[in-house]
Structure formats: structure tokens, C-alpha cells
Structure 1
Amino acid sequence: MATFGILVGGGPAPGINGVIGSAAILARRQGARVLGIPSGFQGLMAGDTKNVRELHIGEVSRIHLLGGSVLQTSRANPTQRPEDLGRVVRSLEALDIDHLITIGGDGTCHSARRVSERARGRIRVAHVPKTIDNDLPLPPGIPTFGFETARAEASRILSHLMEDARTTARWYVVVMQGRSAGHLALGAANA
């Protein structure tokens, strides 16, 4: 029987629980065992698997209605030290995980790739892109779900701010996050 592990890295974004629930339900219906790994790579980096729990269909079938992440998240990065990466792979193997689903941004994506390389085919890894920066190399016109939510909310706020500026005859300077990517600022301004 295949065993899937699911973990979330990076910041929170609406839609995470939908991914967790959908992936878990599909895998369970195909006869697989599904394990939820709390707090991203954090526990695995320490070799700690005591909080990993099995996910059942009844438990995850309605989590898409909840905000945040039922598995929590962290920014723990196992690629900074080789021994951390080794512990992650050993922890996954100790749990009999042969399929890993990661949900996160560019840092989590990079970590997932390195886990796959280190496992040398013993663990198949799939990454679900989630970042409000929209800075992952995806096909043209395909945004991440964190970006779409942030862009829509920023556009809504900006439309109100523009009305305030018109009403008061003032200018406003808006600063948006995005690190070295300007996709969010551009997307919000163009909406």
C-alpha cells in the first residue's frame, strides 16, 4: 500500500486546506494511507515524527471551509544543512512515506526538490505552488492560489483608497510585499 505524506511550508494562504483535503481524499479512495505532517519540515528536520497523524476522509472532507492550515505551517528549511536534509529523508522513510506532497512557495519548492534528489527515487515528490509573490516559474498565465487571493483583496482595498483620494484631493503611496517580484503590485493595480 502506498503511503502519502502532506506538509505545508511558508506563510498561510486561503486554499491550503482545500489542497490538503482534496489530495487526502483522492489518495484514500485509491487505497493509500495518508499522513499529515504538522509544521512543514520543522519536526522532520529534528527527526521528530510523534505529531504526524493519519488523515481520514471524514476528518478532511469539510476542511476547505476553514481558513489557515489544519497541518499548520513553518518556514523551516532543511536545505541549509546537509544533516537536516538527511534527517528529513530518514524521517519520511521511517514513516514508510513513498509519496510526498508539499504545499508552499519557492523555499518549500526548493526543499521538496532537494528531498526528492536526496531520496534517489525512493520518495516521489509533488509540489503545489502557493505564494502571494507569484514568483515560481509556472507556465504563462498560471498564477498561484495565494497570489490570486492577495491580488483580489489588494484590488478591493485599492479601489476604496482611490475613492478616498478622489474625495479628499490627496495622493496616496501604496507599498506591497513581494520581495524581488512585482507581480502582486502590478496585478492589484491592473485589476
Structure 2
Amino acid sequence: MSDTIKRIGVLTSGGDAPGMNAALRAVVRKGIYHGLEVYGISRGYEGLIHGEIQEMTIGSVADIVLRGGTILKTARSEEMRTEEGQQKAIEQLHKLQIDALVVIGGDGSFRGAQTLAARGVQIVGIPGTIDNDIAGTDLTIGFDTATNTVVDAVSKIRDTASSHERTFIVEVMGRNCGNIALQAGLACGAESILVPEIPYDLDEISDKLKRGHQRGKNHSIILVAEGVGSAYKIGEELRARSGFETRITILGHLQRGGNPSALDAVISAAMGGKAIEIILAKESNKMTAYVNQLVVSSPLDAAYGVRRPFNRELYNLANELSI
């Protein structure tokens, strides 16, 4: 680690998330404000390995604070998983005399960052993933926006479900984590929410649909996290059990795009600013975290600690409200 921090790099890696640009803007502008030279690295670790690096100015990040995606682009890098790839990344940083690196991304991105930290690179991670599945932080960049995107989509789907008197199965992102399904499902009043963390009973869900029909309800919305299984198969089985017509909507990458919500934009900016403070303090192997409505510095290892338990209280409430 250099005694005097002069140049820093910043990259976005893994799945894009609304708010990454706001975090990037904060890193660049606060870095420049404090006299640092800031270099943007395109296409994540893949771009780092192959030297896709250019200096950024105040104008480089103009008008991106509310833009979705990431202007630096992102890519998966199998080469970064190898010692040879990691060495190439180190050489590129040394070539440009970059003293510290800010990594904006999720679990896999942080693992790549840790390999560089172990080789002496000053590293700060900013948690950016719509799944909100990083330990050590209450919120990750993009989660609030993705949840609101689902709520908006379900609101439109409900209009059609009501008009045609159908049950709609809506599949949302969440391979190993049901946070989006839970929060969006509760917010939009879904009749059932299926998440990887809790076993489900299709007979019970079918019975709930029948009870609703008996009291005059002519449509239903069921949210399914992708990690639970095929929405199409679940729809077929529910139709066989209940006799009700079902339709499937898979929201897919729609959930990653769009302007960040105000909450995501603010958290992203605060995390970007905190990353510069950590660098100037000459700390490494750290991550920014949103804890009790404050952005703080935490060990990067905290990202691999015990995750917050799935919120069964909210899950139970959603079930109680959808009787």
C-alpha cells in the first residue's frame, strides 16, 4: 500500500443494479475533490485484466446520478478466478500506479476483491446487488428499486387478472434469496408468496384460492422467487388442483433496469463517499455498509458472515393479510 494515495481505480462487477452509477459518481467526484486521480475500469475484472482503464473527470459522470445500469459496463470474468488472471490484474494496477481500488458489486465481486487485497492492493467494496443478500449491511444498492419495479409490474398485471378473472403466477428474481418476492408481495397484496427459504404447500395455496373464489374474489396474484422452481410448472399444478385458469409472467431482467429510487440514489452516493473516506484513512479490505440508517465502514469479511435471517415475521404477516 502506497504511503501517499494519489490514484485510485473503480469498477462495477457482476449483475448491474440501479444506483451503481450514483455510487460511481460519488467516488469520482469526492475523489477529485480530495485531490485524487480517479481511473474508471470498464467491464469489471475482465476489463482490469486487459487494461481497459481510463482517467475520469468531473464531466465523465455528469447526468448519471439517476441513470440505471452502469456506464462502466460489467462482465463475468472466469480468468479472474485463476492466479494468472489475478497477477495480470495486479500488473495493470502497478502499470498505472493505481494505489487503491473500489469494487462495486455483489458476493462474487467481493471475492475477487479479496484475492487482490491478499496480494497487497488497497481494496474497498461497495455492495451492489438487487437481491439484498450481502451480510453485514441492511440494504444493498438496487434492492429498493427492484422491489418497486416488481410492485409496479404486479399492479398492472392485477388489472388484467381482474378483467379476465384469472390467477397470475409472477416469477421474480431471487435464486437463493426471497427478499424481493417477500417485500414486493407484501407491498402489493399478493395472495401467496413462494420463497426458497420456506417450504410451500400447493394444496394449501389451492385451498386459499378456492376460499377466495367462494367469497367473490375473481382473481389472484402469486409471487414466486426464481429459486423456488419453474413458475410454469407451479402454474400447471395449481390449475390441476384448483381448476382455476392460470397465466405466467416472468419479469426477468426488467427488475435490474430503470432509474434508481430516491432511497437507492441516496444510499449509493453515501456509500461512494464513504469509500473515499476509507481510502484516505489508508484502510484496506473494507466494505461500506448501511446499518441502522447510517453508512459505515466494515471489514470486507463481514460480507461472508451470517446473513440476516429471512424475515419470517413479514412473511407470516403477508399470509395473515391474504386470508
SS of the residue aligned with 1:41? helix
Q: Which residue of 2 aligns with 1:98?
A: 99
Q: Which residue of 2 aligns with 1:21?
A: 25
1:130 and 1:156, CA in 2 relative to 1: closer, same or farther beyond 3 A?
same
Q: Which residue of 1 aligns with 2:150?
A: 154
SS of the residue aligned with 1:174? strand
Determine if contact 2:113/2:125 at 8 Å carries over to the other structure.
Answer: yes
Alignment: residue pair count: 183
RMSD: 1.7
Determine if contact 1:78/1:88 at 8 Å carries over to the other structure.
Answer: no
SS of the residue aligned with 2:167? coil
| Mapped partners of 1:71, 1:27: distance in 2 | 17
Name the TM-score, length of structure 1 as normaliser. 0.88
1:128 equivalent to 2:88? Answer no
1:166 equivalent to 2:162? Answer yes
Q: Which residue of 2 aligns with 1:137?
A: 135
Q: 2:38 aligns with which of 34, 41, 48?
A: 34
SS of the residue aligned with 2:10? strand
- CA deviation vs aligned residue, 1:27-70 (integer Å, no higher than 9, x gap): 1111111000111010333xx22x31111112223322433222
* Structure 2 stretches lacking a partner, 5+ long: 188-323
Q: Over alpha carbons, which structure has the higher Rg?
A: 2
1:178 and 1:160, CA in 2 relative to 1: closer, same or farther beyond 3 A?
same
State, as a whole percentage, how many aligned pairs show the same letter: 33
| Mapped partners of 1:133, 1:52: distance in 2 | 29
Between Structure 1 and Structure 2, the one with more strand by share is 2
* Structure 1 stretches lacking a partner, 5+ long: none
Worse-superposed segment, 95-104 or 55-64: 55-64
Amino acid at match of 1:109: F
Name the TM-score, length of structure 2 as normaliser. 0.53
Determine if contact 1:41/1:77 at 8 Å carries over to the other structure.
Answer: no
| Mapped partners of 1:52, 1:96: distance in 2 | 12
SS of the residue aligned with 1:12? coil
